[in-house]
Structure 1
Amino acid sequence: MNKLVSKITDSEVEVMRVLWDAGRELPISDIRKTLEQTSNWESSTIKTLLRRLCDKGVVFVSKKEVLYYTPLVSEAEYNEYSTQSLIDRLYSGSAKNLVASLLGSKKLDDSDIKELRNLFKVGSSDE
């Protein structure tokens, strides 16, 4: 699945988010309506992005009375891959270095740090 997810461009992620948010297959008219409200894309651009996603194997298209699109990659799979890719590229695969960077740059406030501490405590009790 990682190979498929790695091929999704930023513009295509916007289309995927519409599909993920819906939680069901969508007709092209609903996808177009949503994207035309949030972007300045023409209908032809949206169709091109959907075709590319289908060609990449991350979206399934079925023809009923109109074309319906269904994501084959979940948002969780995409987020997991993207996070790991970021950690690999920027922090040589070290999540610890990512957290240290966030702490050092003051991107986390006290409540964020407290929440992370609680998450680490829960994680360590599972072992």
Structure 2
Amino acid sequence: MSQKRLPDTEFLVMKAVWQCPELPVSTHDIMKHLPNDRGWKPQTVLTLLKRLADKGFLESERKGKERFYTPIISEADYLAIETDNFMKRYKGNSISSLVRTFFTSNDVSAEELEELRHLLEE
């Protein structure tokens, strides 16, 4: 499994794959889960899917005329890797530094603070 960071366009395609309820997923179904504002043509999506398969993020198989894809890495696992890489790169692996930055740059609601408090108590 790859631990490389995905470019934004490839990440959008992976998000579309992860959103599909049934696996393996067809190219057509992936297209339905992509943001409409991109205006991607099917060939563009096919190119991105091939790259993701080549990088070890997707498994690809042909059934008749259609190609189907199965994620090799879950969204949760990928996000955990991304978070870990971010923490090491930008925050010196310090959760308190990350939280401090988050609170100084974002408005946090009382509800979100309460949710955070519950997480810390667990």
Normalised by the size of structure 2, how large is the TM-score? 0.86
Separation in structure 2 between the aligned mates of residue 96 and residue 30 of structure 1, nearest angstrom: 41
Find the counterpart in structure 2 of residue 81 from structure 1: 81
When the two chains are superposed, the root-mean-square deviation of aligned CA atoms in Å is: 1.8
Structure 2 counterpart of 1:37, which letter? N
Are 1:62 and 2:24 counterparts?
Answer: no
Moved over 4 A (4+): none
Contact 1:62 1:69 in 2 (8 A): yes
Structure 1 counterpart of 2:72, which letter? L
Q: Any idea what the Cα deviations from partners look like across 1:21-49, whole Å, max 9, x if unmatched? A: 11421112222344373521122211110
Which secondary structure state, in structure 2, belongs to the residue aligned with residue 5 of structure 1? coil
Cα deviation for residue 12 of structure 1 reads 0.7
Separation in structure 2 between the aligned mates of residue 87 and residue 36 of structure 1, nearest angstrom: 28
- Structure 2: which 5+ runs fail to align? none
Cα 1:62–1:90 change in 2 (3 A) is same
Structure 2 counterpart of 1:69, which letter? Y
Percent identity over the alignment is 32
- Structure 1: which 5+ runs fail to align? 123-127
Contact 1:57 1:72 in 2 (8 A): yes
Contact 1:5 1:73 in 2 (8 A): no
Normalised by the size of structure 1, how large is the TM-score? 0.83
Separation in structure 1 between the aligned mates of residue 35 and residue 119 of structure 2, nearest angstrom: 39
Q: Which has the higher helix share?
A: 1
